[in-house]
Structure formats: structure tokens, C-alpha cells
A and B are shown apart, each in its own frame.
Chain A
Amino acid sequence: MNHQGDDTVTIELDEREDGELIGIILKAARCGDFETMARTAAEVSEMTRNWATHIPWDDLASLEGADDELARVVVDLTEMWEPAHLRNPVDPDEEYALDKNAYDFYRPAGRNLLTRTGDFYGWVQARRRTETWQYSRVLEAAPDSVAQITNDLGRRARGINFNSQDYLSFNTHPAIREAAARAMHDYGPHSAGSPMVLGNTRISDDLEAALGDLVGLDHVTLFPTGWAAGFGAVVGLVRQSDHVLIDRLAHSCLQQGARAATRNVVRYEHLNVEAVRRHLTEIRATDTRNGILVVTDGLFSVDADWPDLVTLQRVCREHDATLLVDVAHDLGAMGPGGTGVLGMQGLLGSVDIVMGAFSKTFCSNGGFVASHSPALKQYIKMFGGSHFFSNALSPVQTAVVREATRIIRSAEGDALRARLFTAIHALRDELTGRGLTCMGEPSPIVPLLIGNEKLARTANRLLFDRGVLAFMVEFPVTPTGSSRFRLQVQAGHRPEEAREAARIIEGAIADSRAYLSSAFGSAPR
């Protein structure tokens, strides 16, 4: 390859492409025509010779009689000549199931809304057939620290249960069950209608007062689900010209509420209060007239960490911004007297707006929004559509949550939290001791980082039969490439159960790594 002389260039142009030459060499090798092999090899480009340094290009003739070496060269040349996967087909279902992400199906093509969901369904079916679909498992009995479930192929399994959000194990608590039975007896199962009409009972009023007491804010509004509380609070307050600053990893109900309320949404780097300060300064430099809602979780539900709320609230006040904190996962389960991250940071009664959910520690469904302002309460009831236009929580639900709140605040609550954290430490220590990466801080959520989705899906498949029920989270819950097991610990887990589960999980991950033949670890960056 010489750029100085025209003659050389002409010769270069006349020369054949390397693929053709390698084809000729392979054919000649089959006929034992070593002379043609050597002559053709001389024409192979410098590029290919320097790249395929494992081929003895200058010595092909000397392979005559050296059968083993010839066979090896033929294998190596074939590898270059024809792609390996055309010669070695794989299970197409498994390949499809493991290589795709839900995001790949987010924008289907076609004008028929019914038929265009077909591609996604095809992928779901491939994952079901290969037992890598972690969703829609069904309980066969009341879940405890151990649960019996059926996957969506109808296969049953029983295992140490890390799928329940019942952090203080209230689901089997006699007082909770008794409260539910009494409410059922007194009011029946139905909540009559919207809380704006006649959906509330005396129990609802008591519950609002008890929750207000727990978070140190007087005015509490109940919602039929936690999701509705987050979505309703944001769309109830924020208008098109306002701004929302939201932690990138805040819960879906808050992200979707922000999108529905305004186009002025900034997603700030996870937990980064300095980034919030920067964004607030930028927004206030050009907009002094409209509102800014800053939104974060307390305990983040798949990362198990929390922000510096003291600074965050101060920064918000400095910029006339309002802070909303979602305490769905921490309230009741951690902090002094079950006050969660707010209590841990000495912020009871000092955060602008607090929202939470009853679907975790409080052993029910539903959610709430709390603040110091009776005006804000009435406003959200009117304009947070998920409050006005849904039936109220049922009497059974409110009674359960009220009883749960009572226990959370009692000495028994302290004892349950102590048991919970003993199990949490046992699980984290055992996992970490086995070289695995637990993300975040000790809390009822123990995220075990896997990273690669294929590895996570395969490990999840193995775990199903090995006696651990662990929910695998991947996109869209986590960003692509950072899938993990979200292990949710309960007060009812014995430390030995937690350690046993850690051993089983480690084994499943190791076996999956071997199965996929993967060298990737789970180092964060």
C-alpha cells in the first residue's frame, strides 16, 4: 500500500478482496493444493495479515504433512470467512427473551391500538416460555416470612419471602386482623363513595389525626392508593407555568404527575442538593412569578438511600420553592418511634408537604398528603383528581391503617423495628461477606446490584426453584444496565433465614454467570 506511485495504486486496485482470497485458500486446503494456498496468501492485504497474526500467511506451503496444524489453520480461516453464528444456531426464544428490554416496545407502530400491542406480547411470551418473566406471580396463601406462589406458567414454588412490603409483618398480627374484622362488622366492606361525598367514616377522621401526629403536620388528606396520593398532590398544586424539580429516581407516581402538570420539569441528579440549588437559582433568575415544586423520595425504593432533607428544605425556602417528600417506604419502618427519614433528620413538622403510602408498613392500600396548611388540604381535595373522583378507602382499610399506626407508635413498634433491623443486618452482612454489592443504607429495602439484565433474568429463573422469593427489578423501574434484586425484609424474618437466603442468592448468581459465561461484575462504574 503505497501512496507515492501510480503503478502501485493500479496494482492495488486490481487485487482481489481478502474474503475471496480466503475462500480460495480454504477450497485449496480441502484439495490439499498447498501451492495454490501459498500463492493466494501472498495476495492477501497487509491489513488482514497484520490483523490475523494467528495465521501463518508466509508459511502455508509448509503445512503439508502437518495435519494438526493445517486443521487449526482451516478452523481459524473459516472463522474469518463465515460468521460463527450462522454455523451454530442458538435457541431463538431465549436469545429474544434475554436480549430485549421493555423500552424496546414503548412506541408501537400502526394506527390500530388493539393490534399494535402484538410485538410486545410476543416478547412477553418468549420470556414466559423461557421462565424469565418475573412479573405477575400469584400468592397461594397469606404471605409471611415464607410464601407459597405460582408463576404465570402455573408452576408452584415456596420460599423465603422477600417480595412483601409488609415490613413489620402486620399481615399476620392478631390486632390488625381484629381491627379489620371489627370495621367489617361495623361498616361493611364498601366505602359508599368519594371522600368528597360520603366516603369517609369516623375511622377516617381518627386516622387523619393519628397520621398528622406521626409526621408532625396537622392537615392530612387520604387517597385511595399511594400512587394516587403522589400523582394527585403534584397535579393538584402545579400548573403549566410552574416548575417541577424532581430527583431522577423519584417514584413513578411523582414523575408522571410532574409530566402531566407541566412541561417545565427538570430531573436532577439523584440526591444532589447542590444541583437543586443550581437549578433553583437558574429558574429564579428568569422566573420570579411562578411556583416551583421540588420533589424527592425519603427512602428511595430501589436504591435504599435518602437525601439530606435538612439542607434541601432550607434551599427550597431560600428560593421560594416548595418541598414534597414521599415517605412511602420509610414511615413506620425506621427512625425514632417509626417516624422514618423525617424523624431521623429531626424534621418532624418542618417539611412543607409530606406524602406517604399505606401499602408498605401500614399493611393496606392507600396514601396520604400532609402539611401545616388547612387551605392546601382543601385545595388538593378539590383539584387532585385522584382524591375527588375515586371512591374513598374502605372502612376495613382505614381501620387497619389506624391500628397499624397505633402499634407503630407503641413500645411493640420499637421491638418490631429492632427485630426488623436485626434481620436487615444479617442479610446485608451475609451478602456483602460473599462479595456481592448491597446498595444504599441499612433499611427494609436491600437492593442487591446485578447490573446486566440477562444475568438478573437468569438468576431470577434459578431462584424460583431454590427457595427464595426475590423480586428482580429492571427497566423501566431502574435505568437500563443496572438491574437488581430488591429484597424487602420483614420483622418476621429470622436472622438465620436471611443468611440462608443470601447463600442461595449467591449460588444462583454464580450459576447464572457460569451459564451465560459472563465476566462482568457488579462494580458500580
Chain B
Amino acid sequence: MYDAIVIGARCAGASTALLLARRGHRVLVVDRSSFPSDVISTHFLWPHGMSYLNRWGLLEQVLAVTPAHTTVEVVNDGISLTGSVPVELLREYFRDLHGDDSGVVQSCASVRRRVLDEILVGAAARAGAEVRTGFTVRELIVEDGQVVGVRGRAVDGELVEERARIVVGADGRNSFVARALALPKYDERPRCTFAYWSYWSGFDLGPPQLHRRGRLACAVVPTNFNQNMVLVWGPSEWSREFRHDVPGNYQKALDFVSPELGDVVRTKGTREERIYGTLDQSAFLRPLHGPGWVLVGDAESAKDQCTAIGMTHAFRDAELVSVALDRWLRGDTSVDEAMTAYGDRRRSQNAAAYHDYVCTLAEMRPYRHDELQLFVALRGNQQETDRFIATHADVAPVSEFFQASNLFLLNDAAKESSADHAVFEDFAETSRSYQQNLFA
């Protein structure tokens, strides 16, 4: 009999197992995969994601093999903004959500899952969690409406049964736990992006770059093995046409969004792997907890990759749920109260506003005139640029940046005007041309 069985041993699961085991609980964590291995992910960690790793003592191990930077460059229709997430906003985030602001770091990084997940799984094992890989859960054991354990097939093919006081579903968007319990989906936002990416050697462009033009976007981010992750994305309405020639359209999208980047990739880059892709990124929430079970990470809240926040959110969930479960397992509170505390933080007003923010961005509508002018107004205003980036990354609440009086002030303080930027020259015609499917 375990205190907790965690299903899924990647960002959400291994972290939850690690934190529970460190608090002295008996934890079993299982995953179908073996490690190291990859999984579909845009594998970016924003500074709060890196801060979680630091709080858990794992950051050094990650940084030993992974390039990290404190700034990111965001270029929208040629309007460039460079900034970093401010330390004081990070501290505020951790105080609000977790009640302490220790271990905050300002860096961000792109970490391959074959690297990161193995570090997490290793740390969970060292903390005393029992890790079983190559383990397929076949069934949840339910008694009197309460989940009390799992039946599954171990790596050697043996069928086993294990029991615990709580089962944690950390098994991602396609969660077996959610399927087995027939959990509904809430707050579905079907419009999402298609994303294709691969890994390239041969160039080093420094800090991460995110570019957007019309309905398409690309990112070049340095990652492990001296490679760059080069990612393109666009509205899923265009995915069918994109798929007719994946390598050709991948380069075509790069050239369209940023001719400079397209040129670097074409002339200097060597592609090291096949091109990967996904279209299945519509957003939804699931119920967070029920009798004998609780969900964390993508299993409880899946959303589009366009803000690259999934792993950071998985870490957040792991910390929130492990603190809540710890209080219950120790007998300090009832399970209902513990789960309510977790739910209040996960289904709060800020969480809802950020859900909407990502989903709206994922529609990949061309930026409107007013939005582009906001980016122009931010240029030269480093404090507000940094706060915008912090808002985009879900460190600062959406409601504080996107507030009428703040936006008025941004306008008033603008140092540049639209006259300085080419996209405004024939804006109406440019916007119309952006509606054309580039791959049709």
C-alpha cells in the first residue's frame, strides 16, 4: 500500500513523485516509456519553470548540458522587443501561488525531453520514490466509487496490482486516468495552431527569438547537443495545405515570417532529425479531483503550444498538488479541504484570464493595427516590455497589464510612432494579404 501512485513520470508526474517522496511519503510512479526518451513537446522553460527546478535543487544538473539565457527577443511584423521577466514579478508570483519566493532565477531554456525527463525521474528515484518504467496501466481499481489503485503490466510482462491512498493522473493530454474515469472536458477552445519543428546544427544566434508575421510564427531557440530547435506554427485551418509538402512549407513559412532566419537555416543549418509536427492542440480543462484521484499538468489543463508554457505549468501543478496532498497525508487537513485549496489556485480568475489569452493567441489571427501599435509603444519602455513578457509567460496576471488606464499610459509614454515601422505603410492591403493561405 502506497501513499500515492503517480501515473506518468514526465514533467508533472516525476516532479510530483519527487516532491511527495521528499516529504517522506511512500510513492510509486509509473510510465509506459523508458528513459531517456522524447515526447511531443516544444520543451521551453520560462523563468518560473527554471525557478521551480532551482527550488528543487535540479537546475545545476540541467544547466550543465543546456544553454540558458535571461532575455528573449519577440518580433511582431518587424517590430522587435527584447526583454526579460523581472525578478520582482517572479517573486510576487511565487509568493502569491506558493507562499514563498525562494529560489527565483531569471533565465529561460529549451531542454530536450530526453534530457529533462530523465533528470526528473532520476531525482524522484533518489528521493525515495519507486520508479517503474515500461509499465502500462490497464485499469484503475475502483471500490465504492473510490479509486484505490491500479492494475497494469510491468516491463517484464507480469500483471500486477498496486494500491494507494491517492492516484495522481500525470499522464498528459491523452490521459489514461481521465479516459478510464470518463471525465468530461470543460472550457474547450477548438481553434489552435499546427506546429512543426526540427533540430538544426551549424549556427548559434544567442537568446531565443520568437517571430510573428500575419498568421504565421516561428521560433529559433538554442537547445541541447549544440543544436537549435526551429519551430514554425500557424492556424490549424491551414494545416491541410501545409501537410502537402512538410519540408518545403516548413522552409517557406520560415522565409515568410523572417527572411533573415530563413536564410540562416537554409545556408548554414544542418537538419539533424526528421521534422516533427502536431495539430492536436485544442484547449480544454478536466475536473481536477474526485474520490481517490487528482489530475496534474496537461491531464487537467491542456492548451496550445503558442506560449510554450506547458512544462512550466506542469511544475507549478506538481508543487501545488504535493503541498496539498502532504497536508492531507500527514493528517493536518481533510482530503476535501486539501483538494479545494489546490482547485482554488488552479481555477482562479487569473488562471481563467490566461487560458483565454493563450486560446485567443492560438487562433493566429493577424495582429490588428492597435495591437501592433501597442508593440511600437512598448519599444524604449523596458519596464513595460518586461512586464508584457512576464504577462505573456503567465508570471504576471493578464488583468494587470491589459487594464485600460495602463494601456492609456503606455500610449502616452510611447517614444516611437507607427511612422518608424514598415508594416504600417499600407496596412489595409498588408492585412488583407495576410488572410491568404500561404500554402494553398
Contacts and interface: CB of A to CB of B under 8 A. Distances in A.
B267 interface: no
Nearest to A52: B174
B275 interface: yes
Contacts of A475: 402-404
A515 to B, nearest CB: 12
B408 to A, nearest CB: 6
Contacts of A107: 368-371, 373-374
A523 B174 contact: no
A267 B409 contact: yes
A23 B345 CA distance: 40
16 contacts: A14-B274, A15-B274, A47-B38, A51-B41, A54-B176, A80-B278, A103-B407, A106-B370, A106-B407, A107-B374, A267-B409, A475-B404, A481-B349, A518-B186, A520-B348, A525-B348
Given A84-B282, A475-B403, 18 more contacts: A9-B273, A17-B246, A17-B275, A20-B246, A50-B40, A51-B41, A51-B174, A82-B279, A90-B190, A107-B373, A109-B369, A259-B412, A263-B413, A452-B352, A481-B352, A481-B402, A516-B187, A517-B186
A109 B368 contact: yes
Nearest to B191: A85
A443 to B, nearest CB: 21
B172 A53 contact: yes
Interface string B386-419: 0000000000011110111111110011000000
Contacts of B360: 99
Contact of A50 (B32, B239, B288, B347): B32
B272 interface: yes
Interface in A39-55: 45-48, 50-54
Contacts of A518: 186-187
Given A107-B370, A517-B184, A523-B344, A479 B402 contact: yes
B237 interface: yes
A3 B225 contact: yes
Contacts of A106: 370, 407
B284 to A, nearest CB: 9
Across the A-B interface, the 9 shortest Cβ-Cβ residue pairs = A481-B353, A107-B370, A109-B369, A85-B190, A479-B399, A476-B404, A51-B40, A519-B186, A520-B352
B402 to A, nearest CB: 4
Residue with the greatest number of chain A CB neighbours at <10 A, chosen from B40, B345, B399: B40
A129 interface: no
A81 interface: yes
Query: Number of contact residues on B: which range applies?
Result: 35 or more
A88 B353 contact: no
A518 to B, nearest CB: 5
B188 interface: yes
A13 B275 CA distance: 8
A519 B346 CA distance: 10
A259 B409 CA distance: 7
A5 interface: no
Interface in B348-366: 348-353, 355-356, 360
Interface string B8-33: 00000000000000000000000011
Contacts of B369: 107-110
B163 interface: no
B274 A17 contact: yes
Nearest to B411: A107
A13 B273 CA distance: 5
B52 to A, nearest CB: 18
A390 to B, nearest CB: 24
Contacts of B344: 521, 523
A47 B40 contact: yes
B279 A480 contact: no
Nearest to B377: A107
A83 B279 contact: yes
Contact of B399 (A50, A81, A481): A481
B282 A85 contact: yes
Interface in B143-184: 171-174, 176, 179, 184
Given A18-B277, A51-B172, A451 B405 contact: no
B280 interface: yes
A11 to B, nearest CB: 9
B273 A519 contact: no
Contact of A19 (B243, B408, B409): B243
Nearest to B10: A50
Interface string B276-290: 111110100111100
Contact of A451 (B352, B368, B413): B352
A263 B411 CA distance: 11
Contacts of A46: 37-39
A121 interface: no
B348 A523 contact: yes
Contact of B96 (A13, A81, A109, A525): A525
Contact of B408 (A17, A259, A519, A523): A259
B99 to A, nearest CB: 12
A12 B273 contact: yes
Residue with the greatest number of chain A CB neighbours at <10 A, chosen from B179, B400, B406, B427: B400
Contacts of B171: 53
A36 to B, nearest CB: 19
Given A20-B246, A103-B407, A110-B428, A520 B402 contact: no
Contacts of B191: 83, 85
A121 to B, nearest CB: 15
B370 A265 contact: no
A145 to B, nearest CB: 31
A105 interface: yes
Contact of B271 (A13, A48, A85, A479): A13
A79 interface: yes
Nearest to A246: B405
Given A53-B172, A521-B344, A85 B39 contact: no
B320 to A, nearest CB: 12
Nearest to A517: B186
A525 B368 contact: no
A86 interface: yes
Contacts of A51: 39-41, 172-174, 278
A1 interface: yes
Nearest to B178: A54
A174 interface: no
A452 B353 contact: yes
Nearest to B363: A99
